[in-house]
Structure formats: structure tokens, C-alpha cells
Structure 1
């Protein structure tokens, strides 16, 4: 099926409703970056959250042991000054001695060890427990500025997890006096990042100001105000009037049209998020169902016009993909089997599989409704009778946990990590309900890739795993995503290749 862009009528409407001269942007005048987010911000502690909005905020209020250079994917010192692997399962981390918390106290080795040990404590119930708990046995203070990490097994992504997932807290933060308080940092956050919290109204507004005792490079902008504005129209109006300087997750058409006016600049950058269709090859919903047959899954892959979906429905820098990973990720082998768009071949494969007239198929989806509808339309075109269940994410997650989903349109952003490990295990291990393949050998290969520090060996193992996923058509990979922003003409906002917005690097023109 071919998809066409909607007519560009929005810009004309905007021009008719606002003056042609650009407004006076208050953000630059009072050195305050005004940020709009559609997501309600309810918890400032990234150790207890997961969404992209919270990652963005954590970069402002917190620091981690290491930084990951988004351009080179190399690790740089942050709170840690260095590391040494004593053996495959023991690593020593050396810390700076000048890192200050926002309350003025100095970060210590005890704080670092406490944070990591708390995260893996079953009583923590932290969102980060799954990431850290699979490899960390315990963290031990070995000196005034050194912490020793004892690993459960060989794990090549230790530094990545240290750089991206765990925000450092003062010892006793979550269980002071023996009383567990998982919300201790939800509102009154005491971090170590370049900005400190001035005020926070959950679901409404967060006010940050530059932390002058920050150990790293000071941000150029003094204050950041983050407002929760769920309605895109409200965000748009605020941007045009100068009340907002930065918007993200902007629909492509709106970004292009409003970006052509004097009120805003449209920026489009890369994003490590990919979209894909997961198929119940393992027969969890029907042991003898059509999706358990290879030719049916191959037919579905051939039926999807993912090139047009990427160009016309996602837009920007989005591209069609044929792998169960983002092409920019380490280990994402691009030589695996591809299934070009070919509806006639798809129909022939269905007939060979015993379904010349197609079959009914329930597909679940929770986001990007136009793309979900395009998937359904393409499959309808080869005779598959699609029942599209467009639901909230929580409903999809529950149905998947109950093994009640024959197919679903999913996306994954890998937390901004340019490594196939960030997408492979969570989707293809045997202990995740995201894995509908039922392939134990594949799960073993994915796990093996995650448990060797030999980079060439990791590439080989991921190539083997991705090759099998493609050959067996467990997924129908679709497209990469594009990050679209609207910003004030006064704002200099750098775009990083991993697609993660870093507001702390913004400045005024």
C-alpha cells in the first residue's frame, strides 16, 4: 500500500492567526529555558521511573559514575575518574573527591555503594533493579574514594549501565532509621547534577536553577522551567507566544509547518527507537495457529510497505529496517535476510502455507495509530482479516503477560544505548513475556553474547541471533523513528546521534 502526506494546510492557518513578526521571546531575556512536555511529570527520581521524559530530567538533576559520549560511544569520567577490572567479575571504581550534592554535602564512596546495594535489594522495588540486579552481586567500599563491584557473571555492559541507569543518592536515602521510603526523592530531589530543584508541582511545573557547585562544566542557561502540557495545541500556542522555547515528540506535519514560520525552528534528528511487528511464532495463543508456520510469517514480512511507512507516516530521518535492532547499534548485522515489499509473493506464500483465502488475525497496538492502521491495511490487502486492537500500553502489557496476544505493533528505544544488547535480551530471553518465539536456542545465543567481553565474539553471536530472527521471521521489523523538535529561534539546541535530548547543553544564540 502507498501512503501520501496530508496536504500542508496548517501553516496557512497559523499565518492567519498570528502576526508575521516574531514575538519577543522571554526565555532569552530572563535566561530561562521554558520546556513543554506532554507527559505529566510525577516523580523526579529516575531510579524509580523509566520514560524518556524522566531520562531527560535526570540528565539535568543527577550524574552517574561515567558519561557515554553520544558521538563516539566511548565512556568518559564523570563521578568516577577511572576503573580497573581485577578479573572478569570484579571491577574497582575510583571516585572524584569534589562531587557535591545539592544540599552542599560531599559525595562519598559510602553513598555510591549504598545506592547500588539499595537498587538490587528486593525491598527497593526500583525500576532499575532488573537492569542492575542481573549482573551485580554487591558493591563494597574499599577506600575513601574507591568502590569494588562484585559481579554475578561476566557482563560486558557494566560501564554502560553505570553511565546510564543509576542516579547516585546519599547513604540512607531510602531507608533512613530503618523506615523504607521509596518516594524519598520523588519530589524533594537532592542530586549531584548541573541543575538543582527549586520547586516542583507534580503534574504541573518543575523549576530548576544552575547548581554553582557542580563539579563538571557549568551549563550556559541559568534556569529551566518544565511544564506539563498534555495538549499539543496548547504547546503550539505557547511556543508562538514566546511562553515555550522547546517542544519534543512533535508530529512531523506540525513541526514542518510551524517551523516554516518566524515563531519557531524545526529540528529533526536521529532516534534509536525502532518499530516492529511481533508474531506469536511459539503458538502461545494457538499452538496450531497460522503464525506458527514459517511461510505465513514470511508472507506478513513481504506484505508490509515499510519504506512508505517510514517516509510518509514517521517522516524526518526515519528509514525502513530489516533487522530486530537499530542499524546504528553495535552488533546489528545488516547482512541478515530481508523481505522486500512484494504483496504477490506474500499471497503466494499464504497459499503455500494452506491459507489461500487468508485468516483472521488480532493485532494489538498502543501508539502511532496511523502506522498501526497501515500495518492492518497492508495485511488486509493480501487477504488477512485484521482486528486492530488499539489500546493503552498498560492494557497491552497485561494481555501480553497473560499470553493473550497473537501479534502486536511494538517499539523500543533501547534507552538511547547504541548496542544490540539493549534490545535483544529483553525481547528474546526466555524470562520475558515480550518473547513470542519460544526459541530456547535463540535465547541461549543472546545470553551468551551478553556474557562475553570479547567484542568480536559478541558481534558473531549477535549476528547468529539476528540471522535466526530474520530467517524464522519471528518479527517483521519496520522502521527507525525520527526525533522532531520545535524550538525558539533564539535557542541553540544541539542534536546528538543517539537521539537523547540533552537540555544542559543548550545555549542562547
Structure 2
């Protein structure tokens, strides 16, 4: 797809946005309240029972964890924990900070920590975090008022990551109400231990947060945060221009650049660990003798894609074309692998070698970034592949994938902001997921074995071998990294993190 067509597609995908004022309409900072717009509805305040990026953003403000991730160094530092020690490969002792308070004024102790972790893996919990934590946690045990021992099922190198990013600490008995187990007690009446406490919550509409004076860590600069659910990007834009909000993200590039060039807003653009890719049915689930079961056809698909132009014109910012099935910033994501450079002629040659000189029909599924999906379709059609683009809701794509009825799809993955190849490899290349369309049992074994050793050099070598296998067989067509685009009030200082996760407590006024 040529440059002018890409630019046109980008503009068409954004719609027309008219600047309705000639001068700034700035939100006032007099009431020390940061007003945030999120397109995704907030229906549950309890991150143990949610997964989406918007819920992570909220949890960063309301909750506390044993460890914190330093986004600059990707190191895990003490938070509620002050120290830890691996007694042996399967036993981890953690010392807790004294004086940590929950938002209801009660002190956090070892009893709360062991309750939280044991609850997550309990049969009756059904927590979203259970799938991750139950892989490695046998149980948590109290060994002192401020000391906890974690018994692991097996060697697991990502324990501190999970403790820092997936487990928000809860009060002992948090999920018991009137003597009965209730998984929803924290859904709309959250008692956390983070820098902000919930003042009010209207599901799907608004969350009001207030700085928690007894927070054990560094106090955030801004007193209040109001998070509003505004699903329409045009409404968000109008609210930003009129001073109704101070912060919006996931902003289309053209809107971010155009409005950011006015006195009404600042355009911020930073890195994001999310990557975009095509998943190809190499295993032949949809057709045992289908074209995609031939590695040459999958290689042709890779050569057909103009990754760099898609990254520049459809994603923008810091987005770059990639050839790895992971984000290059992640641990273990080697870039020294087979790269299928944009070469339509080579793509046509490979299709001919595979017995498809006139191409073949391909049903391509997508659920987001329609302009990208259309650009992919155009590139594939240019080499003779007759694409039937099925642009659907995510739920429809998930159902088709679960039923093994999806020959190829455009997907993205943000790894939860985790700079480790494990965060993408297990989900897409193991036998534990319907996202893996490779049918390669040896690859699954390699990917899972990387999580069975704490030796980082050994893990890196395993991932290097696995990624080379994926590239050689062209199980994926990696495309590009994403860029995070924000529009914020000119009065707001909002630092961007290298992992692409926006941290609201770090905001301050200019």
C-alpha cells in the first residue's frame, strides 16, 4: 500500500474533527482535581477480578502491592515488602513494612497478605488473577507479624513480577460478607492501601478518588482524581477543549497532532509494549491441507507486509516495524532472527513455489485498528491473495478462535506492561491457549521450559531458540510496536513511562 493511500486511510479512520474554538479553554487547577477520561467502562474496582489496561491504571492509584516495578530499569523494588529471601528454589520469605494502612484505617499485617494470596488460589475465589498465581503458588504461610513465607509449586523466575503487577493486597476476610463468601465485595466498595482512596463510584460513569493522607509511600502531588467514562473520542475532545477533562489517552494520531498544535492541549507521545501481528493457521485447524500449512505461504505473507509504512502513517509516534514475535524491549526478545523484509516480488515467488501462482482466498479477521486491517488486506491482495476481511467485535473473534475456525487474524498484545518475553510467549505459543495456531508441540515445550529456571542466561537462550523457530517457520507475521498518544491540559505535567503504562499518581500541575 503506497504512502498516500496510507495517509488517506489514517484520515478516514479518524473521522473529521473540527476545532470549535480559536483560543484555549483551560481546565482550572484551583480545585486540585485531575479529570481523566477513559473510553472503557469501569464496572469493577477490584483488579483481582479484572484484566484490561484501564483497570490497571486505576489500580495503580488505589492499590498497594508487595513490590513495585521501576519502569526505567525494569527492576522490582520493595513496596509493602521491605526485603525478601529465597530460602531455597521453592521457598520465598518476605518481610513486610510496618505502619502500612488500609483506606479504612486498619493496619496491614502478615494476616492480610497471606489471606490475599491464599484467597486468589482458593477454589471458591474465581479471581482473574488466579490463572497466573496458581501456576506457581502452593500456599502462603505466616511466620511472623510482619513476615510471610511463600511455598512455590516449582521454580518460577517471574514471582516478583506477579507480586508487583498482579496481586493487589486485600484485608483479611475481604471476600466474606455476613458469614458468606462474596467475590464481589470489593467490586464497588474498594478498600485498598494505595495513594488514593475511593470516595464515590458510579459504575460505567465515574470514579472519584481522594489522596490518602496515611499512604505509606510518597504522596502524590494532586489532591483529587475524577475518572469519567466517555466512550466517544469526539466527546472526549470536546470536553478537553472546554476544560471538562485534563487527560485522555489512546488518542488517534491525527487528532493528537492537530489538537496538540493548538494552545488548548499538549500532545504527549511515548513508547508502548503493545505489538501488532498476524497469527496464521500453520497447524491447519481450519483446513488440514490449506495454504497456510505451507511455510512458504506464511513467509510470503510476511514479505507482503509494508510494516514500516504502517508504523509511520497508521500508528505514528515511536511506533516501528518489527520482525520479532515480541517487543524488542522485553527481556529475551532477540532481534537476531530471520527478518522478512517488505518484498512483494519475493512474496509472489514464494506463493508460486508453493503452488499458488494465482494466490488463494483468505479469510482475515480483525477487531481493532480498522485502518491497519485494511492496509494489511491491501498489501496481501497486491501479491494475489484474495482477502475477505471480517472486521468484528472482539467477542466474535474470541469465539471463532476458541472453535478453531479462524485461519488468520490481526491481533495485538501489550504484555500487561511486562518487559519480559514470558508475558507474550506463554499466551501465544504454548498449548495452554487457543491463540497458538502453530500446532508445534516442541515450541510449546521450549516456551514453557523458560519459566522453569531462575537462571536468566539460560532463559534468554531458550527464548532465542524459540523465537528463531517461530521466525523460521513464519508462524506469525510480526508487524509493529505501538505508540502511546495522549492529550493533556497545558497546565498538567504528566511523565511518560518506558513501558507505556500511564501512572496517574505521578501527575502534577505545571
Shorter-normalised TM range: over 0.9
Matched, 1:80 2:81: yes
- Alpha-carbon offset, residue 178 of structure 1: 4.6
The Cα shift of 1:108 comes to: 1.2
* Whole-angstrom CA distance in 2 between matches of 1:332 and 1:505: 29
Q: Which residue of 2 aligns with 1:397?
A: 398
Please give the alpha-carbon distance, in whole angstroms, between the structure 2 residues aligned to 1:412 and 1:503.
Answer: 22
- After TM superposition, list the pairs within 5 Å mapping 1:75-154 onto structure 2: 75-154=76-155
Equivalent in 18, 29, 35 of residue 21 of structure 2: 18
| Per-residue CA distance 1:389-437 (angstroms, 9 max, x = gap) | 1111111111111111111111000000000011001111112101000
CA distance in 2, matches of 1:262, 1:228: 25
By how many angstroms is 1:255 displaced? Answer: 0.3
1:314 aligns to what? 315
Q: Deviation of residue 8 (structure 1)?
A: 8.2
Match of 2:82, SS state, is strand
1:176 deviates by 4.2
1:375-400 CA-partner distances (Å, limit 9, x unpaired): 11111111111111111111111111
Equivalences for residues 166-181 of structure 1 within 5 A: 166-176=167-177, 178-181=179-182
Q: Which runs of 4+ in 1 moved over 6 A?
A: 7-13
Whether the 8 Å CA contact 2:281–2:407 is kept in 1: the answer is: yes
The residue number in structure 2 matching 1:3 is: 3
Whole-angstrom CA distance in 1 between matches of 2:407 and 2:264: 46
8 Å CA contact 2:177, 2:185 repeated in 1: no
2:249 match: 248
Q: TM-score, normalised by structure 2?
A: 0.97
CA distance in 2, matches of 1:262, 1:110: 52
Q: Distance in 1 between matches of 2:401 and 2:119?
A: 30
Distance 2:16 2:118 in 1: 57
What's 1:368 paired with? 369
Deviation of the 1:24 alpha carbon = 4.1
Relative to structure 1, is the Cα distance of residues 24 and 442 closer, same or farther in structure 2, using a 3 angstrom cutoff? closer
Q: Distance in 1 between matches of 2:370 and 2:39?
A: 17
Find the counterpart in structure 2 of residue 65 from structure 1: 66
Q: Is the 8 A contact 1:11 1:261 kept in 2?
A: no
1:37 paired residue number: 38
Q: Residues 427 and 12 (structure 1 numbering): CA distance in 2 closer, same or farther, change over 3 Å?
A: closer
Residue correspondence of structure 1 range 471-482 to structure 2 within 5 A: 471-482=472-483
Give aligned pairs, total. Answer: 506
Counterpart Cα distance in 1 of 2:509 and 2:417: 26
Q: How many angstroms does 1:23 deviate by?
A: 2.4
Following the alignment from structure 1 to structure 2, what is the Cα–Cα distance between the partners of residues 367 and 12? 19
Question: Deviations along 1:201-224, whole A, 9 cap, x unmatched?
Answer: 001111000000000000000000
Local SS of the residue matching 1:29 = coil
Secondary structure of the structure 2 residue equivalent to 1:139:
strand
Structure 2: state its 5+ residue gaps: none
CA RMSD of aligned residues (A): 1.5
Q: 1:428, 1:203 → 2: CA distance?
A: 35
Contact between 1:82 and 1:93, CA under 8 Å: does it hold in 2?
Answer: yes
CA apart distance, 1:25: 2.1
1:93-125 per-residue CA deviation (whole Å, 9 max, x = no partner) reads 110111100000001111111111111113211
Asked if the contact 1:83/1:93 (under 8 Å) is kept, the reply is: yes
* Cα 1:203–1:340 shift into 2, 3 Å: same
Task: Write the mapping of 1:319-468 to structure 2, written as runs, cut at 5 A.
Answer: 319-468=320-469
For the pair 1:190 / 2:177, whether they are aligned, the reply is no
